[in-house]
Structure 1
């Protein structure tokens, strides 16, 4: 089953699905800055574009380009920002 998700007045949209490895979402982030909370570990893969992330326990933003990824621990929050649309795959583990 495919689940549709929409956040921040439609500026972040994703489709959620499940496989034998676990749940994932694939989506698009419009230009802007957003803060997300996590219930479980998340692995964010940047499929297209570029975004900056302010990860837990960090004080500096780090840029992630197409082909890169970052991890966020469970029960935390992180911020992302982008000046162009960015596509991502988020795996929940």
Structure 2
């Protein structure tokens, strides 16, 4: 079953689904700045566009472009700056 998610006054939307027993979501972020809180560990891959990311506890921001990925620990948070609409794939790691 596909689950629709909407965050930050609908500036971030995603569709959640399962594939081979793994939970995933694909979505789009509009231009803006957002803070996400995680439950499970996540692998985020930029599908199109670019994300500027600061992981919880990190001192520096990192830029991730199309095809690049970053990992987010479970039970943490990360900040994102988006300069243009950006598509992403989120894989929830057990």
Q: Same fold (TM over 0.5)?
A: yes
CA separation in 2, counterparts of 1:58 and 1:81?
15
The separation in 1 between residues aligned to 2:27 and 2:81, in whole angstroms, is 15
Structure 1 match to 2:46: 46
Q: Deviations over 1:21-65 (max 9, x none)?
A: 410000000000000111110000000000100012211110000
Deviations 1:55-78, CA, capped at 9 Å, x for gaps? 122111100000100000000000
Residue of structure 2 equivalent to 1:79? 79
Structure-2 separation of matches of 1:83 and 1:43: 21
Q: Distance in 2 between the 1:21 and 1:66 partners?
A: 26
Q: Tell me the equivalent position of 1:35.
A: 35
TM-score normalized by the length of structure 2: 0.96
* RMSD of aligned Cα (Å): 0.7
Runs of 4+ residues deviating >4 angstroms: none
> Which residue of structure 2 lines up, in the alignment, with residue 16 of structure 1?
16
- What is the TM-score when the length of structure 1 is the normalising length? 0.97
